[in-house]
Each structure stands twice: as structure tokens, then as C-alpha cells.
């Protein structure tokens, strides 16, 4: 029996998905900050002759790699809460994004501090106060006023002495500005990490939904397979009961040759019918061959009355149909057509293509299905109808009823050469 394919029901996001989201986040960040840095670097070059674009570019690459590493650490912590309620996930994201943002701000400060020092030194040499850095590789607000080199001319020396404490106070202010810059960077990037955490939770929720859908599909498939097996197994007992009764009658009446022929035909039938998995599809020529074996068995019971006829176009031999789907139909023809009369009865099984669909008919010229009651509601026909509905839905149908010469049943289903 073929093994069922294993279905991955693990709701955890794959590492590949997480890495792609992290790379996408920081690649977008790198491109945006690089564009902004190009504009500001152009302004610095025009105003002060400073060309730091290449210097800031490689540092920005390292900063983004550091941000990606911080994001991966954040993911490792967030995944600990994957199976927790949503409110716990939200609180965890709000808390864990704080140290992530602070760490990223420190990485940014460390990488661009030499560049900032270089910029400040150049600006002081030109007679400007120090500039503060607010973003990755971007020189922004002038946090000190420009001083005119001539402002010191003619001043009282005692004034310079009084200015010394003021200079120390300015140094303290610049250190305060540095910490404020770190805090500003951490707060602004806090929402960046928080947004990625929200994206991760959204992706994981989608993964949970897909896992639930796969489980539901697996259960539906298992239920359908169980239903098909049950319907398939309904075919055999009644037929076997009749065959053993007939075989017993042949033995009791002293007809060993016919009994031996029937045993051989019965053996061939079951060898053929049990070769495939109960829910498997078989080639149409195999199904026709199986029904030939069955009618060979019945021919032992009705040697003078049963005339089997099979018509299968070569181009339809490989068409795939459910295994033993024709058995109840052929059995009905024998039961109600052949057994119900003393004259010869032809049982004809044929197939044809009809506008891209496969049409298979089982007809007999016997007295009809009087034992079935209302046409189309016998146990055998109901079995075939239920199997077709389980396998094809509305794409297949069965019709059954008396004709001018006897009784016919036709099934119509999609014409497939694989499956």
C-alpha cells in the first residue's frame, strides 16, 4: 500500500522567511539613509569642501549589518512567545524592542564618532562651532553658533579668564548633546524594531492559519479515503456470498469441472481486484479486464444465458477511473437481467469519449431492474453515485433506467490519463 505523503504542520516560520524579512528591512533602511546622506554630503562639500560620502558609506554598511544582527537576536527572543496569547506577544514586543533600539543606537554612535570628530575639527578650523549628528552618516543641526574670528580683538584679558568656566560649561553641554543624540536615535529606531516585531507576529499568525488549514485538509482527505474504502468494501461481500453458493451447488450436483473452472475464475478475479489500493485509480482497460473475470465466474453459473460483450476503443484504454467502479453495475445486470429470465441475455460494457468526457455504459437486454424499485436508488447504484461524488464532486454523474430493449446505466466523468 502506498504511503501517504507527510504534511508539514509545524507553524514555526522558516529561518529563510525570517532572514528575508530582516534583509528586506535593513536593505530599505540602508537605501533610504544613503540617499539622505548623499544629499547632506553634497551640501557639506559645497559649503566646506568636505567629501565624506565614501567614508560614511562603508560605515553605514556595518551599521546596517549590526542592525540586522540585533534584529535576529530580537527574533530569537520573540519566538519564545510564539504560542502565547496575543496580549503577551504585544507586551513582549514593546519591552524587547527597547534594548534592541538602544543597542543599535550605540552601534551607530560608535561607528560614526570618528567621522563626527573629523567634521567638527574641520568646522572649528573654519571658525564654526561643533555640529551634532542626528542620523546615520548625516550631519545635521548646528548645535553651536558660529563665532567671528575678529570678535576677540580688543577684549579685556580679564574677560578671557571669566570665559574659561563658560568653555567648560560648553564642553559639558556638548557631552549632554551626545547623550541626547543617543536617546533620540534609540527612540526613533525603537519604532523600527517594533514595526518589525509586528511584522513577525503577523507572519507567524499567517503560518498558524496555514498549518490549521493543512491539518483540516489532511483530516478531510483521511475522511474521504475512509469513506471510499468503506464504499469499495461494500462491493465484495454480496458477490462473494453468491459465488460461494453457486460453487457449493456445483459441487453438490456433481459438476466438478465447472466447479474447478469457477474456482479458477474466482481466484483470478480476487487476485486482480486486490492488487490495487482500495482508493486508487486504475486504467480503464484494467477495469474492463476485471469485469471480464467477474463475468467468467457468472458464466459458470449461467453457461447458456450469459453473453458478455466488451467494447473499449484503444485510445481510451489508458483512461483512469476509480477501481471497481463498474462492479456494482455489472453485478446488477447479472442479478436482475440474467438471473431474472430463462433466455439468453447480453451484458454489454462499453466506453466512448463524449465532448472531452469519458462515458461508460453497462446495458443488458434482460427484463429490467424490477428488484431495484425506483430506478437509480438501489444499493449498488447508490454506492457508485457516492464514490463518484466523493472523488469528482459535480464533475461526474450517473444515470440509470429502463430502455426499449432492457436496462442501461451510464456514468460520465472527466477524461484523464493520469491520477
pLDDT over 90 (residue 65): yes
- How far apart are alpha carbons 33 and 72 in whole angstroms? 21
* Mean of pLDDT values over 50-68: 85
In the prediction, which pLDDT does 306 show? 93
Pull the grid cell for residue 369. 431492474
Mean pLDDT value across the chain: 77
Contact call for residues 347 and 302 (beta carbons, < 8 A)? no
Residue 297: name the closest of 267, 336, 339 by CA. 267
pLDDT, tens only, 296-336: 888 877 888 999 999 999 999 999 998 888 988 998 898 88
Least confident interval from 148-157, 179-188, 230-239, 359-368: 148-157
Give me the pLDDT at residue 360, please: 96
Where does 134-234 have alpha helices with state H?
157-233
The closest alpha carbon to 9, from 192, 201, 164, 212, belongs to 212
CB atoms within 10 A of CB 312: 18
Query: What pLDDT is attached to residue 160?
Result: 38
pLDDT at 146 over 50: no
CATH node for 234-414:
3.30.565.10
pLDDT at 250: 79
Q: Where are the domains of the chain?
A: 15-220, 234-414
Provide the pLDDT for residue 50: 64
Q: What residues pair up with 307 in beta bridges, in sequence order?
A: 346
User: For position 169, what pLDDT does the model report?
Assistant: 52
Q: What are phi and psi of 352, to 5 degrees?
A: -155, 160
pLDDT tens per residue across span 205-253:
888 888 888 877 776 766 666 666 665 555 556 667 777 877 887 788 8
C-alpha cell at 2: 502506498
What mean pLDDT do residues 383-392 have? 84
Question: Higher-confidence residue: 270 or 329?
Answer: 329
- The percentage of the chain sitting over the pLDDT mark of 90, rounded to a whole number, equals 24
In the block, cell 453473453 appears at 307
CA dist., res. 291 & res. 278, Å (int):
16
CA–CA dist 312, 246 (Å, integer): 30
Q: pLDDT tens for residues 21-42? A: 999 999 999 998 888 878 777 7
Q: What pLDDT shows up at residue 196?
A: 92
Separation of CA 132 from chain center: 51
**Which pLDDT score, from 0 to 100, does residue 181 have?**
61
Q: Lowest mean pLDDT: which of 195-199, 269-273, 353-357?
A: 269-273
Q: pLDDT-derived band of residue 135, with 50, 70 and 90 as boundaries? A: very low
Is 78's pLDDT higher than 60?
yes
pTM over 0.85: no
Amino acid at each position: 500500500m502506498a504511503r501517504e505523503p507527510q504534511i508539514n504542520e509545524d507553524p514555526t516560520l522558516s529561518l529563510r522567511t525570517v532572514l528575508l524579512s530582516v534583509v528586506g528591512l535593513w536593505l530599505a533602511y540602508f537605501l533610504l539613509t544613503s540617499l539622505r546622506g548623499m544629499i547632506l554630503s553634497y551640501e557639506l562639500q559645497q559649503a566646506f569642501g568636505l567629501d565624506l560620502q565614501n567614508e560614511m558609506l562603508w560605515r553605514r554598511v556595518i551599521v546596517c549589518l549590526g542592525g540586522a544582527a540585533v534584529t535576529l537576536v530580537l527574533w530569537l527572543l520573540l519566538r519564545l512567545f510564539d504560542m502565547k496569547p496575543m496580549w503577551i506577544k504585544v507586551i513582549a514586543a514593546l519591552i524587547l524592542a527597547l534594548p534592541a533600539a538602544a543597542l543599535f543606537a550605540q552601534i551607530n554612535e560608535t561607528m560614526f564618532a570618528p567621522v563626527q570628530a573629523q567634521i567638527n575639527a574641520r568646522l572649528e578650523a573654519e571658525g564654526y562651532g561643533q555640529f551634532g549628528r542626528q542620523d546615520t552618516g548625516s550631519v545635521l543641526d548646528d548645535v553651536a553658533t558660529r563665532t567671528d574670528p575678529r570678535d576677540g580683538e580688543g577684549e579685556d584679558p580679564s574677560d578671557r579668564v571669566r570665559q574659561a568656566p563658560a568653555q567648560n560649561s560648553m564642553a559639558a553641554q556638548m557631552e549632554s548633546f551626545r547623550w541626547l543624540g543617543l536617546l533620540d536615535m534609540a527612540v526613533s529606531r525603537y519604532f523600527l524594531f517594533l514595526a518589525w516585531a509586528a511584522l513577525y507576529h503577523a507572519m507567524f499568525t499567517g503560518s498558524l492559519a496555514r498549518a490549521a488549514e493543512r491539518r483540516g485538509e489532511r483530516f478531510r482527505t483521511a475522511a474521504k479515503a475512509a469513506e471510499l474504502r468503506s464504499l469499495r468494501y461494500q462491493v465484495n461481500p454480496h458477490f462473494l456470498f453468491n459465488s460461494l453458493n453457486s460453487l457449493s451447488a456445483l459441487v453438490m450436483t456433481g459438476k466438478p469441472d465447472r466447479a474447478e473452472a469457477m474456482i479458477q475464475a474466482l481466484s483470478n478475479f480476487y487476485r486482480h481486484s486486490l492488487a490495487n489500493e482500495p482508493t486508487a485509480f486504475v486504467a480503464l482497460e484494467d477495469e474492463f479486464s476485471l469485469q471480464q473475470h467477474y463475468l467468467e465466474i457468472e458464466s459458470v453459473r449461467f453457461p447458456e444465458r450469459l453473453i458478455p460483450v466488451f467494447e473499449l476503443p484503444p485510445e481510451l484504454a489508458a483512461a483512469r477511473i476509480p477501481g471497481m467502479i463498474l462492479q456494482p453495475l455489472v453485478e446488477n445486470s447479472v442479478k436482475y437481467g440474467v438471473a431474472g429470465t430463462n433466455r439468453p441475455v447480453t451484458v454489454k460494457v462499453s466506453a466512448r469519449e463524449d465532448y472531452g468526457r469519458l462515458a461508460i455504459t453497462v446495458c443488458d437486454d434482460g427484463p429490467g431492474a424490477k428488484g431495484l424499485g425506483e430506478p437509480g436508488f438501489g444499493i449498488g447504484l447508490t454506492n457508485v453515485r457516492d464514490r463518484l461524488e466523493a472523488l469528482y464532486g459535480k464533475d461526474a454523474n450517473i444515470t440509470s433506467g429502463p430502455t426499449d430493449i432492457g436496462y442501461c446505466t451510464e456514468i460520465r466523468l472527466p477524461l484523464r490519463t493520469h491520477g
